[in-house]
Amino acid sequence: MTNSNYFYALKLPNEAKYYIHENLTELKDKLTFNKWVHPEDFHITLAFLGKVEEEKLKDSIQKVRNSCLEQPGFSLKLTELGIFGPAASPRILWAGVQNEDRLYSLQKAVYISCEEAGFLLDKKPFKPHITVARKYKGDNKFNPDSLSTLGEFTFTADRFTLYKTNIGMSPSYETIQDFNLNIME
């Protein structure tokens, strides 16, 4: 059993990471969170595996590769900022993306492949988001009205990745395997 956590996630292109980071600069000065996520770590989780046995991990890679071979790439549009947890003291600040059926299809294919490899995964419904900060710790109650939209920014989702978490490092996530989506020209 490995000591690190592993997960599959949609990899954001650098221009999307930069756009989100730049649009959070002003907010960072106003909101106090315990941790702001390093821009290199921005992603959309498809399946969280946790600590893994190497054979199961290899099996999941093969099953994911086979099931996602024909998955098409697609465009995603960033939308609003939101929170998970109590409104006065949220656990997570996130950037959202517009609903896209192909993202849900990709997540389902990855999720099912991981279950077939023997992983017990979270049963909560998929809520695509990009975590940008964790654990609000401001002196005042958090005000959800302080959040804004992210403007108009669309990017091409052309790959997803198996990541390993390196606790205590920044950026924290290490690419183990990239999977390219089928981009139609």
Domain ranges for the chain, please list them. 5-180
Q: DSSP readout, 60-105?
A: HHHHHHHHTTTPBPEEEEEEEEEEES-TTS-SEEEEEE---HHHHH
pLDDT tens for residues 62-119? 999 999 888 899 999 999 999 999 999 999 999 999 999 999 999 999 999 999 999 9
Pairing verdict, β 74-84 and 92-97: antiparallel
pTM of the predicted structure, to 2 decimals = 0.94
Residues 6+ apart with CB under 8 A from 123: none
User: What are the catalytic residues?
Assistant: 43, 129
CB 31 within 8 A of CB 93: yes
Q: Which of 45-49, 100-104, 108-112, 180-184 has the lowest mean pLDDT?
A: 180-184
- DSSP annotation of 145 reads G
Q: Name the CATH topology of 5-180.
A: Cyclic Phosphodiesterase; Chain: A, (3.90.1140)
